[in-house]
Structure 1
Amino acid sequence: MKAHTLLRLLAASLAAALLASCTAAPGTVADAAPRPKLVVFLVVDGLPQRQVLDYRDQLAPDGFARFLDRGAWFANAHYGHAFTVTAAGHATMLTGAYPHRTGIIGNDWRDPVTAEPVYCTGDTSATYIGHATNALDGTSPKNLKAETVGDVLRRVDSRSKVIGISGKDRGAILPAGKTGIAYMYMGATGQFASSTHYMAAHPAWVDRYNAGKPADRYFKAEWKALLPEAAYARSLPDQQPWYGPAGGGLPAMFGAKEDSAPGPRFYGSLLRGPFVDAMSLEFARAAIAGEQLGQDDIPDILSVSLSGHDYVNHAFSAESRLSHDHLLQLDRLLQAFFQDLDARIGKDNYIAVLTADHGFMPAPEYNASQGRESGRVNSSQLLGRVNAGLEKRFGPGKWAAGFSGSSVLLDKQLIAQKQASADALAEEARALLMAEPGFAAAYTRRELQSGSRAGAPFFEQIRKSWHAEVSGDVQYSLKPGWMFGNTVATHGSPHPYDTQVPILMYGPAWVKAGRIDARVEVVDIAPTLSRVLRIAPPSSAEGKLLPLPGL
């Protein structure tokens, strides 16, 4: 027998042994049912749980309602970390680990030694295939320090395929993990592309999809409200004064009047609406066909992160009519996608899970109109005040190099040069932050490493957002209603409007229908899917099994 044949047989034996060791206990749902042929993992970027329920009576019969009426859904699902932003959430979902383990502390941060900018999925050794690549573009999972469910699945059997698709690079790359393949929407061309981290050239099915110029069909197209005006009485009317000079309302046309043909400005604008989401699901269909996902008994994972809702909510807030209608648009897109999955994969052959990377706060101006405390923090002005306070005590110098994720980063070189105390500087920086009107809590590197402030306000959530090798020196969170930045609304806090997200599951062979009120966390998804797939959970996972009957 040839050596390579022996190696293949040995690998198959090891995989079988590992699979047997990870099989669920006899009598559970996961043990009784065959493994799913396909896990369909869906993310709606920036979808707070409240929106799914607020408009439940307006949902189509088989979109979100498939989960709510015939699947399992968790009414009290939350993130457990404090800095609830896109990359941190996407890194948590399928690793089952929070940023203190994944190393993805935000969308971007600063190198803790040099203070140079770092992007969550940046990797200068890789470039987009067929597209220009800038220094901080997202091209690989290099910065992800934890494995995913897909990584474990492929380690058990390399024939399993794991594919991530999104309008955002981080939404595709992070759920796909270390060994999957990511495809992301290119805002300059309206195409989907992978990077040289994954392959040298696209497979033929990707080239065929892009050759059809799918984005061009939306040039000068209108996003129109699905329902009559009266149906939107529960959301804020268009053209609120805090939307800014451009205003905002439906119908909305894509493609500037002065543009005679599609170009980068048009392609980028499609992200703020339902059309890139429609293309993402269309590209997912192409991936299912092109890669033959779910066509045998070797499980595959398809992750699709729909980015448009986040862009809409930043521009208009989750309380807006535009966000209300965008949710309904997504609902109809999901209904069509599920029907195609039923036809191609078979309704009893796949399990679908839907969640979000974070929720969304109401706009500060809306909070103020409701008599709630709110405010905005100008980060550059705040940094100036912090440095002025540090100079007053420690002498001249820009002691705070900048903000990194949700922390203040001290200048390590200046500290060494002047032989200053890093701990004393951090303590003073913390005191200066807490003197600001919008800050709820701040903790120093020493406190976070030692756990000495356990039980203090937001300490555990803040600690889960802080990574010793990646983060800065004073980690903080804002009070409810306060935000950084000049978008209409945002996210990134430990407060329920940002932490509470949907966890919805459908797959009758593995999931019994019903509402579950127990508090659960997003880190619980990874070990639960691992149980269904009969593999070990990811090595850094810190969640537990979701309380599904029989699992």
Structure 2
Amino acid sequence: MLKLKISVALLSLAALSACSTSGPGATPAATPPAAQASAAPAPKLLVFMVIDGLPMRQVLAYRDQLQPDGFKRFLDRGTWFADAHYAHGHTVTAAGHSVMLTGAYPQRTSIIGNEWVDPKTGQSVYCTSDAAYTYIDNKTAPLAGTSPRNLHAETVGDVLREQDPAAKVIAVSGKDRGAILPGGHKGQAYMFMGETGQFASSTYYMSEHPQWVKNFNAAKPADAYFHKTWAPLLPEAAYARSVPDGQAWQADAGNGNRLPVVLGAKLDQIGPQFYPKILPTPFGDELTLAFARAAIEGEGLGGGTRAKTDLLSVSLSSHDYVNHAFGPESRLSHDHFLYLDRYLQGFFQYLDAKIGAGNYVAVLTADHGFADTPEWARTQGRDAGRVDPGKMIAALNASLAAQFGAGTWVTHASAAGLLFNEPLIAQRGLKSAVVYQAAKGLLLKMDGIADVFTLAQLQSDDKQTPYLDAMRKSWHPDRAAPLQIVAKPGWLFSSRPQGSSHGTPYAYDTHVPMLTWGPAWVGQGEVKGAVEVADLAPTLAQLLHVRVPAQAQGRALPLPAPTLAH
């Protein structure tokens, strides 16, 4: 993942078709109008779930070990898409979360990464930062995620509330960007606070928390995890398909890299040093789902007449933290997925009892996939490695200085690209395109670099060059860098020697689960044709009988006919 920080601390509904003509890199056709959707009444509640950092290959790899009503609710009794991908190239958390419910890629949403550098000012920008707002009852750090101001597109929830202001849109996540971006401009977002163990919103959404949030936080549920043990769910033999704990390339920080682990084992009291340790364990997801239940109860989501639909977005962040630290091939990741499956089963059974199994639709996807840890991949005979961003830029600047004269020619790494010293280029009487092309040539000689795309290529209509269109979908003219870099398959942009990441246009990063359930609205079976995550927004808009979000690039998914009459 190109998280380089240098100097800035750098889906009609009743269609029986088995596949869609949209797919990664395809140019979507015009979205069918919402009027063409099924005449069935909308569900009382749309439960939109995101598993941060879950590649589809993990869902299928452990299918035989799943509980009967977690992921299997989708796989055995819902409709799932076997070949669902993101079509943008810089596959990171914020970008993925911005695509799901807008149906638009970063080239339209302008969420090009988790963070980037403003090309005009050189200032660091965080995807959901907004200094005009602060967290409620919690400290607000510089660049903290407090509002959707940077999201230049509307979501399905925004359209829903525009049509029916009484509808409620609530978004919950362990990460601010995991709540704020799906929550859109008219929803309400709540995120986990690492310093206090609370869930909080910001003053963008409200002046103070509703009483149910105050009650949840006052009960201090996070404290119950102090010195709690994360132990493997299954006997050791059940994990033979995954890599054992304690490998040199697995990060030995936070809670350690061997199961069982005791949360906060080295701490003698609960506090700011303890709370962040919850998220990189299964208990981060358990806690988030507990808050989601509290939101359903406190806000009365899915209650009242069917004429009103509410939307609950729940982004579970822990799998991403686990995969970053230990790699998706690890036993720790394998075991975390099994915990997650059990938590989902409990949550769905709660929804059946509270909302009614015939009253809600559940959708599950992920914001991106994950690469295997390079050091492990090499033990399997694969070409894999790490590109240190700082060293890459230093070497590039030295070579550019030798060619064009002394000076710092590359100033920042930003999202998936590099920014240049445009005043210096002008001062030396050079054309920017010449310097970009020279930098491209130099980068292509470096280990781990597959391709580099210049501003001219990004602005062209070339759809034949591999990965260019994917990177173009990640490129926004006002925010993105003029040179976009693609690492070789299996390679990471990383300055640390442990853990894994994501952020490329390769299938291991773009191929994610896209699972649906709701017998009165969604049929049953596996759909094998290629589809895009961007297709979810127009699909859900039709299901909810609202217009498609204005910036959406996806098309309605080919769902089998519902299995139950309305």
TM-score class, shorter: over 0.9
Instruction: Encode CA deviations 1:432-464: one digit per residue, 9 max, x unaligned.
Output: 21111211111111221123x431121111111
Instruction: Encode CA deviations 1:71-112: one digit per residue, 9 max, x unaligned.
Output: 000111111011110000000000001111110011000001
Q: Distance in 1 between matches of 2:524 and 2:35?
A: 20
The aligned counterpart of 1:284 is 292
The aligned counterpart of 1:531 is 542
The SS at the match of 2:435 is helix
Q: Distance in 2 between matches of 1:524 and 1:22?
A: 13
Q: Distance in 1 between matches of 2:153 and 2:437?
A: 31
The aligned counterpart of 1:16 is none
Q: How does 1:372-521 map to 2 (within 5 A)?
A: 372-451=382-461, 453-485=462-494, 486=496, 487-521=498-532
> Pick from 259, 266, 270: which aligns with 2:274?
266
The SS at the match of 2:302 is coil
Q: Distance in 1 between matches of 2:244 and 2:447?
A: 31
Q: Are the structure 2 counterparts of residues 186 and 165 from structure 1 closer, same or farther at C-alpha, using a change threshold of 3 Å?
A: same
The SS at the match of 1:505 is strand
Do 2:42 and 2:309's aligned partners in 1 also have CA atoms closer than 8 Å?
A: yes
Is 1:344 equivalent to 2:354 in the alignment?
yes
Q: Distance in 2 between matches of 1:140 and 1:493?
A: 27
Q: Distance in 2 between matches of 1:46 and 1:493?
A: 13
Q: For residue 544 of structure 1, report the CA deviation from its aligned partner.
A: 0.8
Do 1:232 and 1:324's aligned partners in 2 also have CA atoms closer than 8 Å?
A: yes
Do 2:384 and 2:490's aligned partners in 1 also have CA atoms closer than 8 Å?
A: yes
Instruction: Encode CA deviations 1:459-496: one digit per residue, 9 max, x unaligned.
Output: 11111111111001101111101001124111011111
Q: How does 1:28-67 map to 2 (within 5 A)?
A: 30-31=38-39, 33-67=40-74
Q: For residue 419 of structure 1, report the CA deviation from its aligned partner.
A: 4.1
The sequence identity of aligned pairs, in percent, is 56
Do 1:113 and 1:412's aligned partners in 2 also have CA atoms closer than 8 Å?
A: no
Q: For residue 23 of structure 1, report the CA deviation from its aligned partner.
A: 4.6
Q: For residue 281 of structure 1, report the CA deviation from its aligned partner.
A: 0.6
Do 2:525 and 2:560's aligned partners in 1 also have CA atoms closer than 8 Å?
A: no
Q: For residue 245 of structure 1, report the CA deviation from its aligned partner.
A: 5.4
Letter in 2 for 1:261: Q
Letter in 2 for 1:472: A
The aligned counterpart of 1:4 is none
The answer to which structure, 1 or 2, has the higher relative contact order (CA under 8 A, 6+ apart) is 2
The aligned counterpart of 2:206 is 199
Q: Distance in 2 between matches of 1:160 and 1:394?
A: 59
Do 2:251 and 2:326's aligned partners in 1 also have CA atoms closer than 8 Å?
A: no
The aligned counterpart of 2:11 is none
Do 2:251 and 2:325's aligned partners in 1 also have CA atoms closer than 8 Å?
A: no
The aligned counterpart of 2:344 is 334
Letter in 2 for 1:490: S
Q: For residue 38 of structure 1, report the CA deviation from its aligned partner.
A: 0.7
Q: Distance in 2 between matches of 1:475 and 1:376?
A: 17
The aligned counterpart of 1:137 is 144
Do 2:524 and 2:560's aligned partners in 1 also have CA atoms closer than 8 Å?
A: no
Greater shift, 237-246 or 541-550, is seen at 237-246
Q: For residue 412 of structure 1, report the CA deviation from its aligned partner.
A: 2.9
Do 1:441 and 1:457's aligned partners in 2 also have CA atoms closer than 8 Å?
A: no
Instruction: Encode CA deviations 1:525-550: one digit per residue, 9 max, x unaligned.
Output: 00000110111111110011111124
The SS at the match of 2:234 is coil
The SS at the match of 2:88 is coil
> Pick from 531, 556, 561: which aligns with 1:545?
556
Q: Are the structure 2 counterparts of residues 201 and 417 from structure 1 closer, same or farther at C-alpha, using a change threshold of 3 Å?
A: farther
Do 2:34 and 2:548's aligned partners in 1 also have CA atoms closer than 8 Å?
A: no
Q: For residue 413 of structure 1, report the CA deviation from its aligned partner.
A: 3.3
The aligned counterpart of 2:25 is none
The SS at the match of 2:274 is helix
Q: Please give the TM-score of this superposition, normalised by the length of structure 2.
A: 0.91
Q: For residue 523 of structure 1, report the CA deviation from its aligned partner.
A: 0.3
Letter in 2 for 1:456: T
Instruction: Encode CA deviations 1:122-157: one digit per residue, 9 max, x unaligned.
Output: 111111111111111111111101111011111111
Letter in 2 for 1:67: F
Q: Please give the TM-score of this superposition, normalised by the length of structure 1.
A: 0.93
Do 1:22 and 1:535's aligned partners in 2 also have CA atoms closer than 8 Å?
A: no
Q: Are the structure 2 counterparts of residues 261 and 529 from structure 1 closer, same or farther at C-alpha, using a change threshold of 3 Å?
A: same
Q: For residue 272 of structure 1, report the CA deviation from its aligned partner.
A: 0.4
Do 1:409 and 1:474's aligned partners in 2 also have CA atoms closer than 8 Å?
A: yes
Q: Distance in 1 between matches of 2:211 and 2:430?
A: 59
Q: How does 1:175-254 map to 2 (within 5 A)?
A: 175-244=182-251, 248-254=257-263
Q: Distance in 2 between matches of 1:271 and 1:138?
A: 17
Q: Which runs of 5+ in 2 are unaligned?
A: 1-31
The aligned counterpart of 2:303 is 295
The structure whose residues are more often helix, as a share, is 1
Instruction: Encode CA deviations 1:352-389: one digit per residue, 9 max, x unaligned.
Output: 00000000100101110011001101111101111112
Instruction: Encode CA deviations 1:262-306: one digit per residue, 9 max, x unaligned.
Output: 111110011101112111111011111111111022111100000
The SS at the match of 2:436 is helix
Letter in 2 for 1:332: R
Q: Distance in 1 between matches of 2:248 and 2:391?
A: 25
Q: Distance in 2 between matches of 1:74 and 1:538?
A: 22
Q: Distance in 2 between matches of 1:23 and 1:375?
A: 47
The SS at the match of 2:345 is helix
The aligned counterpart of 1:10 is none
Do 2:250 and 2:327's aligned partners in 1 also have CA atoms closer than 8 Å?
A: no
Moved over 6 A (4+): none
Q: Which runs of 5+ in 1 are unaligned?
A: 1-20
The aligned counterpart of 1:123 is 130
Do 1:115 and 1:411's aligned partners in 2 also have CA atoms closer than 8 Å?
A: no
Q: Are the structure 2 counterparts of residues 34 and 199 from structure 1 closer, same or farther at C-alpha, using a change threshold of 3 Å?
A: same
Letter in 1 for 2:415: G
Q: Distance in 2 between matches of 1:208 and 1:157?
A: 28
CA RMSD after TM alignment:
1.4
The aligned counterpart of 2:180 is 173
Instruction: Encode CA deviations 1:187-209: one digit per residue, 9 max, x unaligned.
Output: 11100000111111101100000
Q: Distance in 2 between matches of 1:427 and 1:390?
A: 11
Do 2:107 and 2:474's aligned partners in 1 also have CA atoms closer than 8 Å?
A: yes
Q: How does 1:84-99 map to 2 (within 5 A)?
A: 84-99=91-106
Do 1:72 and 1:506's aligned partners in 2 also have CA atoms closer than 8 Å?
A: yes
Number of aligned positions between the proteins: 525
The SS at the match of 1:517 is strand
Q: Distance in 1 between matches of 2:251 and 2:117?
A: 31
Q: Distance in 2 between matches of 1:409 and 1:158?
A: 42
